[in-house]
Chains A and B, each alone.
Chain A
């Protein structure tokens, strides 16, 4: 068996030798390069654009303004099936007004990227600055400037929901707690910036489009819809993903630059490349978080949570992003907040607010890090208010194994899970009781405040069509697909609709396919990220690939095994039901010597032998299958983290980190742990370092990696990672996703640990990131209160 083993990755060799081919590594003859002119204003009317000096620069082929591109590219419109939704279409390059710093106003085409950037500096734009709205809370004030005056207010979307007896729960509560939690705006920052290359075959009228994307099929559909060229159809577009250097959701969107690059390949008749620089990534790739959660909790004196009300504001930025729009974060936060807890009386109100900032989108974890910061923050507050240990508060509220499967208050079914078991195991591995027993009430020892924080959470993974429809989305199919075939020589090829960006899909899926078909792993080739070779599907994002791609493989393999068994039965003169597949052979059950190789079976299927096929059997040995998982496939985990806060510097040091996670049936534990490590590091960054900062004028103050701080080796500790496997009973194959859990757990766990460390000071920790200046301010506030 290969499933369950930490098989070393097939992907590594080329990457360790510098032979991986990423988008910017593509060299095509006659290639031209794009450089975008970007707005320095958050909100301004475009009065005039002068391009003559740019066009005169040697090496410049053309300069296009938004007006010039209107006939070539349709604006990007995001349809959302909710009544309380309104949003403008986004021109691929601004036409009348710019809406955020970094919004494109013109694009230069030149013989080299150096010249393209020189020429972009020579484009003269006459801006008439307009009032900008930036802050998500201020945007709701009646006097706030409007990001899109034609909408009448700054609300793209409002959602509301009530279930159970919320009023009754609050009326009968022993204790009502209220808190407001705020998360900073963050960026995905994959190490490989985004880019794309478009090449036209003028004779055939076909377009080959390489992009650093996570959604090749959805991108192809969008290009077909948005690029206006006579004769161009989706059938004539092929999207290929080369090696993709990380994505984390930022590359699971269709961006204006992709549409422009494709259109200009037609316009110019030469291959076109665009590769962004880091400044463009930080200014214009989707941002995330920037949420406010106003939570009220009705609690019994035993610490049992009876009812929850929450009002959620999310900053959608200047435009909805394609294809996820602006409803993913508000509805996601609201729907995911109940998490692993037994909450039956629940009401929410959630908003997507437009501002003159970069569009927000689906970054690893989506709404969950802030949603769990809120509910896990309330668990700790319940403990502090009632004098109950925070671990015990959680144990009193977690859904127990005897209650599974459990349908939560918003209608999401948790089929299996280990909410209590994962908490107990994490407490044990972190020696939680010892830490608590030794902890002084001041939390202060040798100049450091020490605290320990917990996060118990569910992780939405493998979202299927009903899950996306519940969030109002129509352009995200939900399913994924696998084309699985045995070639005439007996090797196995699998083409998937998923598109990895470093997750090790080739290895993981090879392990699964080898087991499903009883062939050696070396005979399996997994291909993805090419729309020509395989069937349609959603792509890779939101912890979905092992659920959806794995499910598609399981289904396709079952059908293929049936055909293999029929042909093998015909060759071995046995009933197909008696055929066993193992180690590249088919044999008759109980008679291993009566066997035939998979190659011999394939030769029959492809009509290369005298024996031929059984009566009525069709040629070929391949099948395509699709898998659309249930609403969502719910994974879970617990993080426990011990921190030391330097009383003098405010710097947070992580002293111990424990993760006990449960993603159902594990194919490759090594790769799963890698996902947990990486996600946790991103969550630590989000909790203590990372923030995209806009000034009041809407200027982005964090457009370099000197200003937007990522965690380094000095910030991320070693971790203890333990697995519990509760295989899904709803999803094919029993798999649950794991990609986002790390970040979801780390943000609340670290925040709670810092709050615990500072608990002796009586200060309130309700806002991230906990940068040294903020932490010092909290410590000083606590000290002055103690002195007063």
Chain B
């Protein structure tokens, strides 16, 4: 019989600007912590082995696979999920571009793509198509063939530049 997993690790974690102090099992994945403990179900789990990118979130401003990250690792960290990328009433040029270019179908991979695009455009405001494709190569989409996703990202970059904005990473 294996060891019971009762020993919980205390963590203090900021998710989308809200501080949570919780005790978590050492093996609890960040994805499951977000989805099932905080009920932030916008982060999706597609493969549980770090390939598909659907579970991508920002940890201290950098993309991370929440299916390969333990919640217990993140004491003191700031995490941003798809729910935290925009706030009601604020402009959302990346999401608008996805909508207007029909860059999503079933929407399951979309949160992971949006998070990845935030990081890309925060670091590189004027990517080439090649750079967009390389930045998104770790996110799988089975519906769109990526054609409209690439168009949307290039358009979003243009909109952000025109407005003098960079994606805000919380």
Contacts and interface: CB of A to CB of B under 8 A. Distances in A.
A678 B110 CA distance: 15
Contacts of A53: 1
Query: Which 9 A-B residue pairings sit nearest by Cβ, starting from the closest?
Result: A18-B42, A502-B106, A15-B107, A245-B108, A681-B145, A677-B145, A18-B82, A25-B41, A705-B51
Given A16-B95, A58-B4, A277-B48, A502 B143 contact: yes
Given A16-B98, A114-B5, 8 more contacts: A16-B110, A18-B82, A191-B140, A192-B44, A502-B107, A712-B137, A713-B150, A716-B147
Interface in B91-119: 92, 95, 98-100, 102, 104-111, 114
Contacts of B28: 114
B104 A15 contact: yes
Interface in B18-46: 25, 27-28, 35-36, 39-46
B82 A17 contact: yes
Contact of B150 (A56, A193, A718): A718
Interface in A653-682: 670-671, 673-674, 677-682
Contacts of A277: 47-48
Interface string B73-88: 0000000011100100
A503 interface: yes
B51 A18 contact: no
B54 interface: yes
B102 A674 contact: yes
Given A18-B81, A503-B105, A678 B145 contact: yes
B141 interface: yes
Given A191-B140, A245-B107, A13 B99 contact: yes
Contact of B106 (A13, A244, A673): A244
A11 B105 CA distance: 9
Contacts of B92: 16
A218 to B, nearest CB: 21
B98 A12 contact: yes
A15 B110 contact: yes
Contacts of B27: 114
A278 interface: yes
Contact of A191 (B49, B86, B98, B109): B109
A13 to B, nearest CB: 7
Contacts of B98: 12, 16
A322 B30 CA distance: 37
Given A27-B39, A191-B44, A712-B137, A705 B144 contact: no
B142 A705 contact: no
A20 B81 CA distance: 14
Contacts of B69: none
Contact of B86 (A6, A17, A122): A17
Contacts of A711: 145
A704 interface: yes
A713 B132 CA distance: 9
A465 B1 CA distance: 55
A136 B111 CA distance: 40
Given A18-B43, A243-B106, A710 B137 contact: no
Contacts of A674: 102, 105, 143-144, 148
Contacts of B49: 278, 704-706
B106 A246 contact: yes
B45 to A, nearest CB: 7
B133 A501 contact: no
Contacts of A27: 36, 39
8 contacts: A8-B102, A118-B2, A191-B108, A502-B105, A503-B105, A673-B102, A706-B51, A714-B137
B52 A191 contact: yes
A558 to B, nearest CB: 30
Contacts of A710: 140, 142
B25 to A, nearest CB: 8
A243 B142 CA distance: 16
A19 B137 CA distance: 25
A718 B147 contact: yes
A719 B114 CA distance: 23
Interface string B118-157: 0000000000000011101111111111111110000000
B107 A243 contact: yes
Given A56-B1, A191-B141, A678-B142, A16 B104 contact: yes
A501 B51 CA distance: 22
Nearest to A57: B1
Contacts of B48: 277-278
Contacts of A706: 49, 51
A678 B144 contact: yes
B155 to A, nearest CB: 14
Contacts of A6: 102
A717 to B, nearest CB: 8
B41 A192 contact: no
Contacts of A278: 46-49, 52
Nearest to A718: B147
B55 to A, nearest CB: 11
Contacts of A18: 40-43, 81-83, 111
Given A18-B40, A27-B39, A718-B150, A190 B142 contact: yes
Contacts of A673: 102
Interface string A283-297: 000000000000000
Contacts of A89: none
Interface string A1-37: 0000010110111111111111011010000000000
B102 A713 contact: no
A114 B33 CA distance: 12
B102 A24 contact: no
Contact of A192 (B43, B106, B133): B106
A770 B29 CA distance: 37
Nearest to B98: A16
Contacts of A677: 144-148
Contacts of A190: 106, 108, 142
A711 B147 CA distance: 12
A20 B111 CA distance: 11
A676 to B, nearest CB: 8
A504 B105 contact: yes
A248 interface: yes
B67 to A, nearest CB: 10
A641 interface: no
Contacts of B2: 118
A557 B83 CA distance: 39
A189 interface: yes
Contact of B114 (A9, A16, A248, A704): A16
A60 to B, nearest CB: 12
Contacts of B145: 677-682, 711, 716, 719, 742
A713 B137 contact: yes
Contacts of B149: 713
